[in-house]
Amino acid sequence: MNEPDFSEIYAIMDASFPESECRSFESQKALLKHPSYRIMTEKNEQGNTVAFLAGWEFAYFRFVEHIAVDSRIRGGGLGKKLMSRFILQSDKPVVLEVEPPVDEWTRRRICFYERLGFHLNPFEYVQPPLREGQADLPLQIMSYPDALSEQAFAPFKQLLYTEVYGLKLK
């Protein structure tokens, strides 16, 4: 991926997520060298990136780290198109993190994923900090095609913590 393409992706990411939910430009760009990390994009007629999905491909499951659409064209189906394409690429389970349903926006986001066949799992989950000096972030896990128990999610969580978040687990 070239620098202008990544810069367009990062600009959408930076505008779509709070700082606690995305890495710095350089840290995010460094992930492009990780063999499990993938980015899918949608471009407009002018060839500019207007939506992206950043995910991870592991042996037994896949993880959606970020999905976002340029704020000027949200609601037009690009998010659904990207997520559906990602799901159809493999028969492995897919997991993603969401903010707990505490307001209209978080509930709408969860409903978006539920319409695609995801399940909101009832157990607690914490995203480790993506930037130095940040606190852990309480989130929830959604899974496709089936709901997961906390026990069934445990090996996924361990891989997320070590590979995606770079934690050294004991």
What would the two tokens of residue 141 be?
């896990």
Tens of pLDDT along the chain (170 residues)? 666 799 999 999 999 999 999 999 999 999 999 999 999 999 999 999 999 999 999 999 999 999 999 988 888 899 999 999 999 999 999 999 999 999 999 999 999 999 999 999 999 999 999 998 999 999 999 999 999 999 999 999 999 999 999 998 76
Residue 54 belongs to some domain of the structure: yes
Residue 159 belongs to some domain of the structure: yes
- Looking at the structure of the chain, the number of domains it has is 1
CATH number of the domain that residue 48 is part of = 3.40.630.30
Residue 170 belongs to some domain of the structure: no
pLDDT at 169: 74
Residue 169 belongs to some domain of the structure: no
CA gap 7, 10 in Å, rounded = 5
pTM of the complete model: 0.94
- Among residues 93, 157, 87, 150, the alpha carbon closest in space to that of 124 is found at 150
pLDDT at 2: 66
Residue 63 belongs to some domain of the structure: yes
118 backbone dihedrals φ, ψ, rounded to 5°? -80, 155
pLDDT at 110: 97
Q: What is the 3-state secondary structure (H, E, C) of 48-103?
A: CEEEEEEEEECCCCEEEEEEEECHHHCCCCHHHHHHHHHHHCCCCCEEEEECCCCC
Q: Taking the mean position of all CA atoms in its chain, how far away is CA 42?
A: 16
pLDDT at 170: 65
CA gap 59, 163 in Å, rounded = 12
Contacts of 76 by beta carbon, 8 Å cutoff, 6+ apart: 69
Residue 28 belongs to some domain of the structure: yes
What would the two tokens of residue 147 be?
């709901």
CA distances to 104, 107, 122, 123, 142 from 43, rounded to whole Å, are 29, 28, 36, 37, 27
pLDDT at 75: 87
Which range of residues forms the domain containing residue 45?
3-164
- Residue pair 55/64 in contact (Cβ under 8 Å)? The answer is yes
